[in-house]
Structure 1
Amino acid sequence: MPEEEQEAQALPEEMTATQPRVVLFDFDGVLIHGDAFYLFMRQRYAGSLWRKLLALSSLPLLLLLLPFSRRLPERVLVRIALLGLAEQHYRAAANAFADALARRPRQFSRDGLRALRQHQAQGDRVIVVTGCEHTLVSGILQQLGLTNLEVLASQLRPGWLGMRTLRHNVGPRKVQLLAQHGVTAWQLAYSDSLQDVPMLRPSVEVVLVNGTPTLCKKVEKALGRVITRVDWF
């Protein structure tokens, strides 16, 4: 084989070797204690009597739907919480809440944030892949001083009566969104949820955060291999 042709074939391997590792972080339960969007929705209801009353009046229907679908009642409650919010007003409300939330240091995982920053310092390509809404999670990360991050998250869209769900980034949709983002391989993934198995399966290494022994066994059974379990506070 000619020397020039050998060099041409070797080039892609050299380029691949210089590319940074891809590291994925879930957000809720990994970098923050609890569910950030739920906390935001709770604030929306706490500050509005008419939203509370509307949600209470919808309760019989929601209870009727609950045995068949948990997601549908949740979406109805989110719609009520966002009722009357135009896109600009939603962004302002989400960013204000992100600012307030970032001022609660105990709300966040010190160990998780340290691990993320260490990956950045090592030159890894860090991507936060979350079911939290994009504007909210991006605002929180920015308030925490975390920059140069890629964020793949759930999204809302403007509707006639206010903002509504466009895409809920959970389960297999995380893998689909990563593919749309041009990411088809990753070396490390952090999660706290069995729902993330589709995202964890392709990862070279998996880290389960604050998982119970039972959850760890379920994830390992679903993946067919041993994973790393860490306790973060």
Structure 2
Amino acid sequence: MDTGDMASSATVGTDVPAQRVVLFDFDGVLLHGDAFYLFIRSRYARSWLRKLLVLPCLPWLLLQLPFSRRRVARTLVHAALFGTGEQRYQAQARTYAAEMVQHSRLFNRDALRTLRRHQQAGDRVIVVTGCEQALVGGILEQLGLGGVELLASRLRATGLGMRIGFHNIGANKLKALAAHGVTAWQQAYSDSLMDVPMLKPAAEPVLVNGTPKLCKKMDVALGRVVGRAEWR
């Protein structure tokens, strides 16, 4: 091959468009509500023993609530998963995922259609969520989206049961993406100000079902007008 052919081949190679990377939050975008909250709530609803377990903590929880809702939520999660080993938790998460998918109204049909259109267009779609890995992975699998890349929160096994390990929210989403080898993305969908770190680097950030007040806050946080999506 002469230098002319080599130059021609190089030009063809550079003309191939790079694959677009598109990020989706899960809770509030693909799902109406918070999947892990619903799972934990179901744990208490199905076991009076777990309700009794958390009763002695109630005075402390009420005192903490005005100062740290996250600490209160963490305590309730740990109590709900007390004595639950990793394999048992995985099985329970898969079972609950199957139950959730039976309730189609929980899911945002427009968001799911948009995600599938991105897949059909050849985009690299990644769900980046604060929801727990096994639970959200089970839900996506039940929805026929098991092949979608997933970056989620993770629990860790302890002698007392499953505990919160890596919480994939806020700036932690950037850490998860970097560890996954993703350093740039073209589009990102979210419904929350918590996702400003993920939305800011996107060429096309999209706020899903944002109120006028939230839209203004997001525009200020990003320093530009964010795209809007009204999905049901």
Structure 2 equivalent of residue 97 of structure 1:
96
What per-residue deviation string (whole Å, max 9, x for no partner) do you get for residues 178-199 of structure 1? 0110001000000000000000
Supply the distance in 2 between the matched residues of 1:18 and 1:210 (Cα, whole angstroms): 31
Q: How high is the sequence identity, in percent, across the aligned residues?
A: 61
Pairwise mapping of residues 134-145 of structure 1 onto structure 2 (< 5 A)? 134-145=133-144
Counterpart amino acid of 1:74?
A
Structure 2 equivalent of residue 59 of structure 1:
58
Determine whether 1:21 maps to 2:20. Answer: yes
Aligned Cα root-mean-square deviation (Å): 2.0
Supply the distance in 2 between the matched residues of 1:67 and 1:106 (Cα, whole angstroms): 33
For residue 63 of structure 1, report the CA deviation from its aligned partner: 1.7
Supply the distance in 2 between the matched residues of 1:68 and 1:49 (Cα, whole angstroms): 28
For residue 231 of structure 1, report the CA deviation from its aligned partner: 1.2
Pairwise mapping of residues 90-129 of structure 1 onto structure 2 (< 5 A)? 90-129=89-128
For residue 82 of structure 1, report the CA deviation from its aligned partner: 0.5
Counterpart amino acid of 2:164?
T
Pairwise mapping of residues 9-88 of structure 1 onto structure 2 (< 5 A)? 14=14, 17-88=16-87
SS, match of residue 148 in structure 1: coil
SS, match of residue 207 in structure 2: strand
Structure 2 equivalent of residue 203 of structure 1:
202
Supply the distance in 1 between the matched residues of 2:210 and 2:55 (Cα, whole angstroms): 34
Counterpart amino acid of 2:116?
R
Supply the distance in 2 between the matched residues of 1:40 and 1:102 (Cα, whole angstroms): 13
When normalised by structure 1's length, the TM-score is: 0.93
Moved more, 182-191 or 56-65: 56-65
Structure 2 equivalent of residue 192 of structure 1:
191
SS, match of residue 58 in structure 1: helix
For residue 19 of structure 1, report the CA deviation from its aligned partner: 2.8
Q: How many equivalent residue pairs? A: 230
When normalised by structure 2's length, the TM-score is: 0.94
Where structure 1 has 5 or more consecutive residues not aligned to the other structure, the ranges are: none
What per-residue deviation string (whole Å, max 9, x for no partner) do you get for residues 79-102 of structure 1? 001011110000000000000101
Supply the distance in 2 between the matched residues of 1:56 and 1:224 (Cα, whole angstroms): 46
For residue 207 of structure 1, report the CA deviation from its aligned partner: 0.9
Structure 2 equivalent of residue 157 of structure 1:
156
For residue 70 of structure 1, report the CA deviation from its aligned partner: 1.5
For residue 227 of structure 1, report the CA deviation from its aligned partner: 1.3
For residue 148 of structure 1, report the CA deviation from its aligned partner: 2.2
Moved more, 147-156 or 187-196: 147-156
Where structure 2 has 5 or more consecutive residues not aligned to the other structure, the ranges are: none
User: Is the 8 Å Cα contact of residues 137 and 146 (structure 2) preserved in structure 1?
Assistant: no
